């Protein structure tokens, strides 16, 4: 579980986050949504420790991030997996080498032990016979699956995803959504996803935090999002005619 209390972050005296608090439970897909400039990327980077907030605390299962010493920071880093927006795979490394990279950095495992773990996670994300291929030889969806495999190869307690469906077609995006949800539930990971993809939010948003101008403007589940009368969230999520019709159909059906 990750607990965030009263987070404030500014750049050049311009406030970006203004007292954001949230709790993210393990085994759930937690979504962070908001318009450009809402603070969601800064919020995610604060959780990752890439930005240090001026006020507030972030705790990982009771461990307050700002209170950790170097050894404790290193241990926490071993427990975190990250799926970057563009995949961030090394073009010059094979799939096997990309996935093995965190193991080489943070463990003293033998090559055979690392290879066994790499093969396990590659099979888990349905990538077979791809060990020796390079990222350029893979489709966009396959590259994202490699990125997910690398993120979970250390068996993390916490998984962060920054726009994991960026650049993918709707069918492939759904496959990635389902994979992230399955892994989160199967391994009881605390997963936090930064997304602007409303299909993903509606599909796997067990818990959703909506940021607006650096403030938490709404919090709830994907089911509650259908029912909410909060004008701020309705205007954001149901800005398209298609989503308005979906919401109306859902509300009409549940009224019977």
pLDDT for the residue 256: 41
Residues in contact with 161: Cβ distance below 8 Å, sequence separation at least 6, in sequence order: 82, 83, 151, 180, 191, 192, 193, 194, 195
pLDDT for the residue 227: 80
pLDDT for the residue 242: 67
Helices (H), 162-254: 170-186, 198-204, 222-227, 231-237, 241-254
pLDDT tens, position by position, 81-130: 999 887 889 999 999 999 999 999 989 999 999 999 999 999 999 998 89
Helices (H), 109-205: 111-124, 140-152, 170-186, 198-204
pTM: 0.89
Tokens describing residue 64: 């307050």
Tokens describing residue 98: 């990309």
| 3-state SS, residue 136 | helix
pLDDT for the residue 255: 56
Which residue reads 């406030």 in tokens?
15
**CA distances (Å), origin 26, targets 18, 70, 161, 188, 189:** 25, 25, 15, 6, 5
pLDDT lower than 70: segments of the chain? 239-244, 246-247, 250, 254-256
pLDDT for the residue 168: 87
Q: What fold, for 2-79+156-254?
A: Rossmann fold (3.40.50)
Domain positions in the chain: 2-79+156-254
């Amino acid at each position: 579980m990750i607990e965030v209390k009263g987070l404030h972050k500014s750049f050049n005296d311009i406030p970006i986050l203004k007292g954001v608090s949230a709790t993210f439970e393990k085994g759930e897909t937690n979504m962070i949504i908001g318009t450009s400039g809402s603070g969601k990327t800064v919020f995610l980077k604060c959780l990752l420790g890439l930005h240090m907030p001026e006020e507030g605390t972030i705790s990982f299962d009771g461990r307050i991030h700002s209170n950790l010493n170097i050894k404790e920071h290193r241990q926490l880093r071993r427990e975190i997996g990250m799926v970057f927006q563009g995949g961030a795979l090394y073009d010059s490394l094979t799939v096997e080498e990309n996935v093995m990279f965190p193991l080489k950095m943070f463990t003293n495992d033998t090559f055979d032990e690392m290879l066994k773990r790499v093969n396990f996670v590659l099979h888990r994300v349905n990538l077979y016979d791809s060990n020796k291929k390079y990222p350029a030889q893979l489709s966009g969806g396959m590259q994202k699956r490699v990125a997910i495999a690398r993120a979970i190869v250390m068996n993390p307690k916490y998984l962060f995803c920054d726009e994991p469906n960026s650049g993918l077609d709707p069918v492939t995006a759904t496959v990635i959504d389902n994979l992230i949800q399955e892994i989160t539930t199967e391994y009881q990971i605390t997963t936090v996803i930064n997304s602007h993809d409303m299909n993903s939010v509606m599909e796997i948003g067990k818990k959703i935090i909506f940021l607006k101008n650096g403030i938490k403007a709404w919090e709830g589940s994907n089911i509650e999002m259908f029912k909410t009368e909060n004008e701020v969230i309705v205007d954001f999520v149901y800005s398209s005619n298609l989503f308005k019709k979906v919401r109306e159909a859902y509300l009409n059906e549940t009224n019977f």
